[in-house]
Amino acid sequence: MTLEYENGTLRVENAEGLRWQLTDVPKPPFSFQYDAVSVTGDRALRRQGASVYPLALDEIREVKAFIEQQSPPDWATFQKQITSDLRALARGLINSVVTQLEYDGLLDVMIAARDGSTDLFAEEARQVLSYVDSVWNAYSALAEQIKDTPTDELQSVKEYAELMPFPPPPDQFSGGLLQELFHDARPDR
């Protein structure tokens, strides 16, 4: 179980592992003073002003009792949680390829890959976009499957993640510049 609260934002993970976030909520009424509080499996802290303090055992129990009393909002489901985690994974996979190949972002890839592009990396960029398509197609198919899966039949995020296309090594794309562009067109003498 975890709880984080700061500036009207409350993040909770209950004992079953369901997570949700609420904004514009009043500060939970704990017996201790705080501006922000964070209780996770490995830390329990409160911030008051610029100072951070560890929570005492009775304060931790108080926070955990508060978490146990919380009911998740109707929109918070394991299906949506898993789908959200997979969406973050998909974006991470795509960004890892874009970053590894030293593009400034996906827009940079799209510009280089456009029809009629004379960009030296146009073919590589097209291959990156093909990978992006495969990631989003896999994510979309999994999201549809997860949406209709009963909670007790859901797999773990890790098991779904293993069905996503992980990036090939960077040299599997076009390898960058066409090396023949750097060779002299004239035969050696």
Q: Please tell me the predicted confidence (pLDDT) of residue 172.
A: 82
In this structure, the answer to whether residues 130 and 58 fall within a common structural domain is no
Q: Please tell me the predicted confidence (pLDDT) of residue 171.
A: 81
Residue 189 lies inside a defined structural domain of this protein: no
Residue 86 lies inside a defined structural domain of this protein: yes
Note down the domain range covering 31: 2-69
d(CA 39, CA 68): 13
In this structure, the answer to whether residues 157 and 102 fall within a common structural domain is yes
Low-confidence stretches of the chain (pLDDT beneath 50): 176-189
The strand ranges marked E within 16-174 are 19-22, 36-39, 44-48, 51-54
d(CA 29, CA 46): 13
In this structure, the answer to whether residues 62 and 91 fall within a common structural domain is no
In this structure, the answer to whether residues 85 and 178 fall within a common structural domain is yes
Task: Give 53's strand partners.
Answer: 46
The CA angle 144-149-152, to the nearest 5 degrees, is 150
Whole-model pTM: value is: 0.77
Residue 187 lies inside a defined structural domain of this protein: no
**Number of folded domains in the chain?**
2
> Tokens 């960077």 label which residue?
170
Q: What are the structure tokens assigned to 66, written together?
A: 């508060």
**How much of the chain exceeds pLDDT 90, in percent?**
85
Residue 188 lies inside a defined structural domain of this protein: no
